[in-house]
Amino acid sequence: MTTNLNPYISFRDNAKEAMAFYQSVFGGELTQSTFAEFHASEDPAESDKIMHSALKTDKGLLLMAADTPNSMDYSPGNNISVSLSGDDEAELRGYWDGLVDGGTVTVPMEKAPWGDIFGMLTDKFGIAWLVNVSGEHPQ
C-alpha cells in the first residue's frame, strides 16, 4: 500500500472558482461537494460553499480544496506553496503558462544555478507555486 501527500488548499468562499481554474490548467476530473449536500452547516448563507473538492488528473496529480466556514479562522498568507516538478519541460511550462494567467511572477522560469529550469509565481487566488524542470546535473 502506498501513501500519498497531496496539497489541500483552504479558501474563504471561492474554492469552486479556483478549482475550475486549476482544472483549466491541469485538466482532469473535478468533483465537488457543498456544505448543503452533507448538511454540514446550519448557516443557509454557506449552503453553496464547497465542503470538499478534488481534482484528479490523468498524470496522477491530486489537488484538493475547500471553502472555510465563516465560523472558522481563515488567515491566508505565505505559509503554503505548491510545487510541481518533473522532467517534461513542455508539460511543466504549459502548467506555468496556465497558472500565471492573472497572477504574478516572483521568479522568472529560467535556468537556475543548480542546473534545472525553475520559476515561482503567485496565482490569481494568492497561492504560491514553484515549478522545477529537472536538468542534467554534473556527476
pTM, entire model: 0.87
DSSP β-bridge partners for residue 117 = 111, 133
Residue 118 and residue 108 in contact, taking contact as beta carbons nearer than 8 Å = no
Contacts of 52 (CB under 8 A, 6+ apart): 32, 33, 64, 66
Domain 81-133 belongs to what topology? 2,3-Dihydroxybiphenyl 1,2-Dioxygenase; domain 1 (3.10.180)
Using one digit for the tens of pLDDT, what is the confidence trace for 86-117?
999 999 999 999 999 999 999 999 999 889 99
Per-residue pLDDT for 118 more than 80? yes
Domain 8-67 belongs to what topology? 2,3-Dihydroxybiphenyl 1,2-Dioxygenase; domain 1 (3.10.180)
Cell numbers standing for residue 131: 515549478
Same topology for domains 8-67 and 81-133, yes or no?
Answer: yes
